[in-house]
Chain A
């Protein structure tokens, strides 16, 4: 049927456009300076790690040297502050001493640092002391500290106050494109049936 053929052609064309757009977004994204900037590469304790007791320090390791001062706030399960004393900056490592009543449960270590080349990195990791559940969605220990926060957005690549990060934009666009593609596909099938 000519009508169906035309529809199929339309869907194919749309799909090609979407694919091209997606490639463009991803490739374009790699050229942005943001992607070359500092990110959290490891931490001790690691994100999502379960510990018998509160460690003496939390240490965050970034992909680039960090310029002082850096800010780290560690929140205990009861909402009290578990970080004590000054945040220490040593090259790419940022650490702060922990203390207090050390209740069991999930601890959140939020950080805000600026790399030596001027790039701000904000994020949060969670870890558990004792048998309590891990409340936060556990972030990976790599650059995606943005996954650590259930709030609209947290980021490691340059957005310090809530806008979507480059990664999120890339993913979002991709999801939207695929959603449209899927919708069209479904629509075309229903029509052909």
Chain B
């Protein structure tokens, strides 16, 4: 390069060495971080294959459970709700589940789906999981009574303002991934392959913090700024299995999913100062600690009083109302925030939470808690459920089979042995 700086050999070599050394250091550091987080994961949870990059990580299906339930929540969600076409019937549903299960298994392993028109978009699975579920109508009409798990629709709650647009559907797929591009592709593949059999009613997109923004395992913050989900079941807890996985023989290895689309009135929330916000929830905004505690996981002391004799944690606060003395009234929360443009609203957006909860028995575990909150919860002034649905989540597909096969065809066909 005439006129440019002279690059003698030594300098080129030094620069190269520095570049490679730096890259090497970066690589080691990221590998150390990835390995460190894998080592910190609970050993009895599903194994996670750790690759050199977050994009290469996969969540294999282990044992009898579908992935995406006890999987640490990925960064992004696409929840797809389908209504079966009138002529679909059990044959249609079977064919649909066979196709979609195959797509899901391939995509989750980083392989293109069959007839994938954009196979390159499947190359970085980024912990992709697809979890399928059936609504009450499917169980009632398409599953023989002998192997039909019991699933009641949620009772009506006074404060709900449900929009059928976000209502109960026949089939659901919870598609979660750390990468939004991979997620969009997987979702499109599934919707494409289901089109002959079912019509999409809604797609609920959601997000948490991006992978790597906060240390793995940090409790999420919702869009109201609150630390949300401190009291949650952890796979390491002895109560986890009986409270999450169905005890019903008809759904062994499966669970139930409660979906609640909760709109937040953030413009109204803007008018509440920090002290007010903390009283409403019963927790500090900065740490998520109960108002009687110092750190996030301190047990709230509902008996503590201030100098006037009033409880420090308002008995009508969210924390006090959500808490149950009955340890069975707990479930696995896996919520995602949502925010969508909505020019019809003065704020220009619609924001809230796609509340997802897995429970072995929603009627016993979830409904009593929601009843209490419906009755009284200071937070109700700023949140309202606009969508509600419940699904049976079948166990993992049997070897060589598809998700839901045990329900639709019985257990005779290639029952997968529990590991």
Q: Which residues of A contact B (CB under 8 A)?
A: 32-34, 37, 67-69, 71, 73, 110, 112, 114, 116-120, 122, 124, 149, 151, 154, 158-162
CA distance A154 to B310 in the complex (A): 13
Q: Which A residues touch B271, using CB under 8 A?
A: 33, 117-118
Q: Which A residues touch B376, using CB under 8 A?
A: 69
Classify the secondary structure of B's interface with A.
loop
With A34-B273, A117-B271, A118-B277 as contacts: A161 and B381 at CB distance below 8 Å? no
CA distance A60 to B279 in the complex (A): 21
Choice from B291, B307, B378 contacting A118 with Cβ under 8 Å:
B378
Counting CB contacts under 8 A, is B158 at the interface? no
The stretch of B52-60, B205-213, B312-320, B387-395 in contact with A is B312-320
With A118-B381, A120-B279 as contacts: A73 and B310 at CB distance below 8 Å? yes
Whether the pair B272, A162 counts as a contact (CB closer than 8 A) is no
Q: Which B residues touch A71, using CB under 8 A?
A: 310
With A117-B272, A118-B280 as contacts: A110 and B309 at CB distance below 8 Å? yes
Residue of A nearest to B316 (CB): A69
Q: Which B residues touch A116, using CB under 8 A?
A: 381
Most B CB atoms within 10 A — which of A71, A120, A162? A120
Whether the pair B381, A119 counts as a contact (CB closer than 8 A) is no
Whether the pair A112, B308 counts as a contact (CB closer than 8 A) is yes
Choice from B279, B310, B315 contacting A110 with Cβ under 8 Å:
B310
With A67-B378, A69-B316 as contacts: A114 and B276 at CB distance below 8 Å? yes
Q: Which B residues touch A124, using CB under 8 A?
A: 308
Given contacts A118-B280, A162-B307, 16 further A-B contacts (CB under 8 A): A37-B276, A67-B378, A69-B315, A69-B316, A73-B309, A110-B308, A114-B280, A114-B314, A116-B381, A118-B269, A118-B276, A118-B378, A119-B276, A120-B314, A122-B310, A160-B279
Whether the pair B275, A120 counts as a contact (CB closer than 8 A) is yes
Choice from B268, B306, B315 contacting A161 with Cβ under 8 Å:
B306
Q: Which A residues touch B268, using CB under 8 A?
A: 117
CA distance A122 to B312 in the complex (A): 12
Most A CB atoms within 10 A — which of B275, B314, B316, B376? B275
Chain B, 253-287, contact with A by CB distance < 8 Å: what is the 0/1 string?
00000000000000011011101110110000000
Q: Which A residues touch B308, using CB under 8 A?
A: 73, 110, 112, 122, 124, 154
Q: Which B residues touch A69, using CB under 8 A?
A: 315-316, 376
**Count, chain B residues at interface, CB 8 A:** 24
Of residues 334 to 367 in B, which have CB atoms within 8 Å of A's CB atoms? Answer: none
CA distance A154 to B309 in the complex (A): 13
Q: Which B residues touch A154, using CB under 8 A?
A: 307-308
Q: 19 A-B Cβ contacts within 8 A?
A: A33-B273, A34-B273, A69-B315, A73-B309, A110-B308, A112-B314, A114-B378, A117-B272, A117-B276, A118-B271, A118-B279, A118-B378, A120-B275, A120-B279, A149-B307, A154-B307, A160-B279, A160-B306, A161-B306
CA distance A123 to B99 in the complex (A): 65
CA distance A67 to B382 in the complex (A): 13
Whether the pair A158, B276 counts as a contact (CB closer than 8 A) is yes
Query: How distant is A31 from chain B, measured CB to nearest CB, in Å?
Result: 12
Residue of A nearest to B304 (CB): A161
Closest 3 CB pairs of A and B: A118-B272, A110-B308, A118-B276
Query: How distant is A23 from chain B, measured CB to nearest CB, in Å?
Result: 23
Whether the pair B315, A160 counts as a contact (CB closer than 8 A) is no
CA distance A105 to B389 in the complex (A): 59
Q: Which B residues touch A34, using CB under 8 A?
A: 273, 275
CA distance A39 to B406 in the complex (A): 62
With A114-B276, A114-B314, A118-B277 as contacts: A162 and B306 at CB distance below 8 Å? yes
Q: Which A residues touch B306, using CB under 8 A?
A: 122, 160-162
Q: Which B residues touch A33, using CB under 8 A?
A: 271, 273
Residue of B nearest to A155 (CB): B275
Query: How distant is A147 from chain B, measured CB to nearest CB, in Å?
Result: 15
CA distance A158 to B276 in the complex (A): 7
CA distance A116 to B306 in the complex (A): 22
Choice from A68, A110, A112, A160 contacting B275 with Cβ under 8 Å:
A160
Query: How distant is B277 from chain A, measured CB to nearest CB, in Å?
Result: 7
Q: Which B residues touch A67, using CB under 8 A?
A: 378, 381
CA distance A151 to B309 in the complex (A): 13
With A67-B381, A69-B376, A114-B279 as contacts: A119 and B310 at CB distance below 8 Å? no
Of residues 193 to 247 in B, which have CB atoms within 8 Å of A's CB atoms? Answer: none
Q: Which B residues touch A119, using CB under 8 A?
A: 272-273, 275-276
Q: Which A residues touch B273, using CB under 8 A?
A: 32-34, 37, 119, 158
